[in-house]
């Protein structure tokens, strides 16, 4: 009687462990799919792939401009902010080009190097842009990214999804997939050993 209870409990534990392993594998595959349709296209479509050194030539704050908070937004979501324009000397080619914060900055407003998030307090936006401009004037030389193909003549300060960020995004689903496979293998080994012991 006790032996039957132990066998039943062992089978239940193996079933739960097997479901856990299969669930981990399924979740990891969903994460792979989500990363593949969201992050990977942004990474592969970016033309600013080569890192170089940029030297600030001038950093000016122009009059306020209007920019929508997102594409297709309503009029009430359009907010004014000071337009910061940073021009740098591209070490790789010696050209004078305009610097943008990220790829998204160029799409949102090609006239400004920095596009702030929508804030209720315009003084905070102005103070932040002035701080960024002073930092550019203080740190004259810094790494930046340019397009080696020449389709884009401007440069960006940082990529939205760099190589390290992409690898980090794939790290967690890979660990989950490996753990799920390991659990399934251990359960199968346990079942095989149980059957072998029963035959003996």
pLDDT of 166:
83
At 31, the pLDDT band (50, 70, 90 cuts) reads: very high
Asked if 135 and 192 sit in the same domain, the reply is no
Asked if 89 and 105 sit in the same domain, the reply is yes
Q: Tell me which of 71 and 8 has the higher pLDDT.
A: 8
Task: Give the mean pLDDT of the chain.
Answer: 82
Q: Tell me which of 95 and 48 has the higher pLDDT.
A: 48
pLDDT of 115:
87
pLDDT in tens, 79-109: 678 889 999 998 767 788 999 999 888 888 8
How large a percentage of the chain has pLDDT more than 90?
A: 24
Asked if 148 and 67 sit in the same domain, the reply is yes
Distance, CA of 113 to CA of 106 (rounded, Å): 8
Domain extent at residue 148 = 50-161
Residue 195 lies in a domain: yes
Asked if 127 and 144 sit in the same domain, the reply is yes
Q: Which residues, in sequence order, are bridge partners of residue 59?
A: 86
Asked if 152 and 86 sit in the same domain, the reply is yes
Tell me the pTM. 0.68
Residue 154 lies in a domain: yes
The stretch 50-72 carries a mean pLDDT of: 74
The stretch 67-76 carries a mean pLDDT of: 46
| Residue among 135, 124, 113, 134 at smallest CA distance from 79 | 124
Q: Tell me which of 80 and 74 has the higher pLDDT.
A: 80
Residue 98 lies in a domain: yes
pLDDT in tens, 143-170: 999 988 878 889 999 988 887 888 888 9
Residue 94 lies in a domain: yes
Asked if 59 and 156 sit in the same domain, the reply is yes
Asked if 95 and 139 sit in the same domain, the reply is yes
Asked if 101 and 139 sit in the same domain, the reply is yes
**Contacts by 12-16, CB closer than 8 A, 24 or more apart:** 14/187, 14/190, 14/191
- How many structural domains is the chain composed of? 2
Residue 17 lies in a domain: no
Residue 189 lies in a domain: yes
Residue 131 lies in a domain: yes
Asked if 126 and 152 sit in the same domain, the reply is yes
pLDDT of 180:
92
Is there a contact between 18 and 184 (Cβ–Cβ < 8 Å)?
yes
The stretch 32-57 carries a mean pLDDT of: 88
Residue 27 lies in a domain: no
pLDDT in tens, 178-199: 999 999 998 888 878 877 776 7
Asked if 175 and 157 sit in the same domain, the reply is no
Asked if 157 and 189 sit in the same domain, the reply is no
The stretch 44-62 carries a mean pLDDT of: 87
Asked if 156 and 67 sit in the same domain, the reply is yes
Give residues with Cβ within 8 angstroms of 43, minimum separation 6. 161, 166
Distance, CA of 171 to CA of 39 (rounded, Å): 14
């Amino acid at each position: 009687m006790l032996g039957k209870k132990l066998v039943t409990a062992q089978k239940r534990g193996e079933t739960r462990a097997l479901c856990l392993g299969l669930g981990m594998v399924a979740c990891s595959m969903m994460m792979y799919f989500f990363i593949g349709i969201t992050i990977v296209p942004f990474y592969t479509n970016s033309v600013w792939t080569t890192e170089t050194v940029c030297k600030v030539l001038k950093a000016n704050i122009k009059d306020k401009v209007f920019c929508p908070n997102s594409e297709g937004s309503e009029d009430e979501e359009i907010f004014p902010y000071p337009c910061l324009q940073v021009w740098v000397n591209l070490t790789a080619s010696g050209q004078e080009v305009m610097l943008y914060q990220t790829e998204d900055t160029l799409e949102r407003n090609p006239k400004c190097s920095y596009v702030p998030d929508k804030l209720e307090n315009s003084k905070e936006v102005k103070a932040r842009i002035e701080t960024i401009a002073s930092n550019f004037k203080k740190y004259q030389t810094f790494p930046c990214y340019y397009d080696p193909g020449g389709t884009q003549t401007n440069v960006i300060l940082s990529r939205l999804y760099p190589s390290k960020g992409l690898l980090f995004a794939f790290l967690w689903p890979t660990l989950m997939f490996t753990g799920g496979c390991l659990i399934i293998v251990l359960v199968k080994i346990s079942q095989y050993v149980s059957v072998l012991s029963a035959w003996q």
